[in-house]
Structure 1
Amino acid sequence: MKMQPWKEPDLSNSAPSFSSVLKDCTVVEGQDFVLQCSVQGNPVPQITWLLNGESPDFHFEQKGTQHSLCIQEVFPEDTGTYTCEAWNSSGEVRTQAVLTVQGEA
């Protein structure tokens, strides 16, 4: 059995990047809604969510590289541009989408 030469683990830093980005969407008032994106980088990126440039008062979840913003019972005032920003010591990146809330039919 041939032994493979030992390799130094790759500990190089990498700027954050999104493997899935936010997409514009329309939902009906009163529905629950989740925005999701996936980001990776080394060191692990910090994440911030924004609504029209300000921190929203919504629930955030992280599972591995998957980041979610959860909105229970959307209302017309939830309409706007949602941004997920990710950064680490090697750089920063953002993705954004427009959420439109329609009145109940």
Structure 2
Amino acid sequence: MFQLSTEPPEFTQRPVDQNIVEGHSAFFSCDANGEPLPSISWTKDGQPVTNQRRHTVNPSGTTLSIMRVQPSDAGVYACVAAIGASNRQVTARLTV
């Protein structure tokens, strides 16, 4: 019988703080292991980040790209790795 792990995901790559000049691009990378593989999502200042014109998340969720950074993009970005109800997050700050 298959049993879901009760262990939270473990991060294998964490995003790092960035100081980006307005108009340039920012990239945050994050990855995690677990059984089964965790799903990865991103938040900015506690709000979900969705694919928009300048904000894109790759299909696996491991990279968040912000094109043509603007002052409104500054804030704390969190990578959230989840396995069922068990999740962990790590954060990085974007300064513009």
Pick the TM interval, shorter chain. Answer: 0.7 to 0.9
- Structure number having the greater strand percentage: 1
1:20 corresponds in structure 2 to 13
Q: CA RMSD in A?
A: 2.0
CA distance in 2 between counterparts of 1:72 and 1:46 reads: 24
Shift, 1:89, TM fit: 3.2
Unaligned runs of 5+ in 2: none
User: Does 2:29 match 1:29?
Assistant: no
Contact 2:18–2:26 (Cα < 8 Å) also in 1? no
TM-score, normalised with respect to structure 1: 0.74
Equivalent position of 2:89 in the other structure: 94
Listed as ranges, the gaps of 5+ residues in structure 1 are 1-10
Kindly name which structure, 1 or 2, has the bigger radius of gyration based on alpha carbons. 1
Return the offset for 1:85. Answer: 0.6
The total of aligned residue pairs comes to: 89
- Contact conserved, 2:31 with 2:40, CA < 8 A, in 1? no
SS of residue matched to 2:20: strand
